Amino acid sequence: MLIDCHVHAVMERTIPAANGRHFSTPDELIGQLDDDGIDMAVVLPLSSPEARQEWPTPEEVLKICALYPERLIPFCNVDPRAEANSPNADFTRHFDYYTGAGCKGVGEVTANMYFDDPMVWNMLRHCADYNLPVIFHISPALGYSYGLADDLGLPRLERTLKEFPDLKLVGHSQPFWAEVTAGLSDTTRGGYPEGKVLPGGATVRLFEEYENLYGDLSAGSGFNAISRDPEFGFAFLDQFQDRLWFGTDICGPGQALPQPDWFRAALADGNISEEAYEKITWRNINDALDLGLEG
């Protein structure tokens, strides 16, 4: 079984991205999952203006998932600035509604605010109260597109991990995954570093020290982290097999998805164990979201 932790879709196309592309419609998304042998997928809404083009709200995601309830899993999303633009905003009624409607987690969090901003922590405190895992996108700086901003070495993420020890924080994006290696700079941490992974990377250290840190292996960022240096990648998958989630980050029709075949080949070639493969590709997500699936 393959459960994808990270896809996007819209009920119907509206505003194209700058490159002219659109998010997948529900039928297109299911076709993509079928083509790549992916059994189920988590559909992530976008609630922050920084990430807005076509804007799938949590309410729209619930409608999309209702079309294919055996295949699609809804997440919700609340911008940290919503309601009162205050660190004291009460999001209880939002989370009451979304969890009651079937949402299993929160994300993709894309607000371009510091990771340890009081308003971000207020939103995360609500997530912890509802036991909802959070998939976050990290940005290398304020004013740099979208995502929670952190500095080289991810100190703001570390403070957040300490503040919320019982909250599953699921890392995603270039600045999160680039830092599996040491030797980065402010100008290289937002890309896709190549070659051997150098010991001492901040992301690896945070995985070692904080059991509430999880990893979303989707997109070019997650895939690059495990594939650029196979010796490192397979060892990393084995070491943290209990906290890694398979994903693709499907955004639109025709998108190439290297992850499914790469994982199947890794298993067939004996580079990862069957136990690690099953955990990463579906069991970890099943357990974290309490899906109740049987292998």
pLDDT tens-digit series, residues 250-265: 999 999 999 999 999 9
Query: Is the per-residue pLDDT at 18 higher than 90?
Result: no
pLDDT at residue 263, rounded to an integer: 98
Q: What is the CA radius of gyration of the chain?
A: 18
Residue 111 and residue 143: Cα distance in Å, rounded?
10
Answer with the residue of higher pLDDT: 21 or 153: 153
The DSSP bridge partners found for residue 148 are 138
Q: Where are the alpha helices (DSSP H) in 25-103?
A: 26-35, 58-67, 92-101
Question: At residue 53, does pLDDT exceed 80?
Answer: no
- The model carries a pTM of 0.96
**How far is the first Cα of the chain from the last one, in angstroms, to the nearest whole number?**
7
Tell me the per-residue pLDDT of 97-128, one tens digit each, with 9 for 90 and over.
999 999 999 999 999 999 999 999 999 999 99
Q: In angstroms, rounded to a whole number, what is the distance separating the alpha carbons of residues 103 and 42? A: 10
Predicted confidence at residue 19, as pLDDT, reads 78
pLDDT at 70 over 70: yes
Task: Please check the confidence at residue 22 and state whether its pLDDT lies above 70.
Answer: yes
* pLDDT at res. 52: 66
Domains and CATH numbers, the chain: 3-288 (3.20.20.140)
| CB contact set of 169 (below 8 Å; sequence gap of 6+) | 124, 133, 134, 136, 157, 160, 161, 212, 213, 214
